[in-house]
């Protein structure tokens, strides 16, 4: 693989546990210093582009949001050679004009999760990456075009409220998030997007609206069976979005400013770095540590 090849990591959320279009598919187990990823990675090709698929909740949806090992998932994708990352996620809508069935290309987040490890870095090796603009605009452009080509009704630009879960919102919470200007709500985009940024993986999120949360007086409260019904109806479009993405990507991957965010993020002096911590970061920080050593 050359430095200009695409390797797209696709993380499938609720309802998307496989991508049948992958050619020459093989499943591999990737060991990480952060523990086990949600499942085996499935490597394959679509339209000559390499893809690595990971079902976020594991096959059969075994793992709840708060127990996902986000660090292991991102580390495993990095070790598998991924250059970019697409998240396909189910969300509730906080806006009248984002009905169930709509696809939304998210560009901002408010993180209200509290029970999750949110960084690869820590005592012994400190880094502060910027997430002012947490998604990659060029990858989001490709994702938007791909979703439209797959026949989805797409809205571009939205703020995603990441809640802890696993319970759905109270009415008061749902109304509060609407007052804050949030557009959709989900349980899995954080800290996923933050960790992707630390791993220097340009990230885009295609959100599939399944329900109206609970803020609407004239709509039944959200229930799992309703979500699953909407997801089932949208699953083919989500999978086809990946196929259309593969078709639309240029043959050569251009350099991305997000490929080198750690150059200006690590604050710990090289001679003060904890060797054990640095060893755990062998995949995440491989590029920047090699350049520092050189």
**Which active-site residues does the annotation give?**
211, 213
Residue 89: closest CA among 182, 187, 181, 203: 187
Question: Coil, strand or helix: which one is 210?
Answer: strand
Query: Cα separation of 78 and 81, whole Å?
Result: 5
For 183, the token pair is 């557009």
CA 243 to centroid of chain Cα atoms: 17
- Distant-in-sequence, close-in-space partners of 257: CB < 8 Å, separation ≥ 6: none
What kind and span of H or E run contains 85? strand 84-93
For 260, the token pair is 């080198």
Q: How many CB atoms lie within 10 A of CB 252?
A: 10
- Distant-in-sequence, close-in-space partners of 78: CB < 8 Å, separation ≥ 6: 199, 201, 283, 284
- Distant-in-sequence, close-in-space partners of 73: CB < 8 Å, separation ≥ 6: 11, 37, 38, 54, 56, 192
């Amino acid at each position: 693989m050359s430095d200009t090849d695409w390797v797209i990591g696709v993380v499938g959320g609720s309802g998307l546990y496989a991508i049948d279009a992958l050619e020459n598919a093989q499943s591999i187990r990737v060991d990480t210093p952060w523990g086990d990823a949600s499942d085996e990675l499935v490597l394959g090709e679509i339209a000559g582009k390499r893809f690595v698929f990971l079902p976020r909740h594991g096959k059969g949806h075994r793992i709840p949001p708060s127990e996902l090992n986000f660090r292991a998932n991102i580390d495993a994708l990095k070790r598998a050679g991924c250059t970019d990352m697409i998240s396909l996620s189910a969300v509730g809508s906080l806006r009248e004009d984002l009905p169930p069935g709509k696809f939304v290309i998210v560009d901002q987040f408010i993180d209200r999760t509290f029970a999750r490890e949110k960084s690869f870095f820590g005592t012994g090796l400190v880094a502060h990456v910027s997430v002012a603009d947490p998604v990659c605009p060029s990858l989001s452009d490709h994702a938007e075009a791909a979703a439209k080509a797959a026949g989805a009704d797409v809205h571009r630009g939205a703020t995603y409220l990441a809640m802890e879960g696993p319970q759905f919102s109270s009415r008061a919470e749902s109304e509060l998030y609407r007052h804050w200007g949030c557009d959709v709500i989900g349980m899995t985009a954080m800290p996923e997007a933050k960790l992707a940024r630390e791993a220097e993986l340009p990230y885009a999120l295609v959100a599939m609206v399944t329900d109206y949360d609970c803020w609407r007086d004239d709509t039944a409260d959200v229930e799992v069976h309703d979500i699953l019904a909407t997801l089932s109806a949208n699953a083919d479009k989500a999978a086809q979005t990946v196929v259309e993405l593969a078709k639309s990507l240029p043959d050569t991957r251009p350099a991305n400013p997000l490929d080198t965010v750690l150059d200006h993020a690590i604050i710990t002096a090289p001679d003060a770095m904890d060797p054990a911590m640095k060893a755990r970061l062998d995949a995440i920080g491989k590029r920047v540590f090699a350049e520092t050593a050189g």
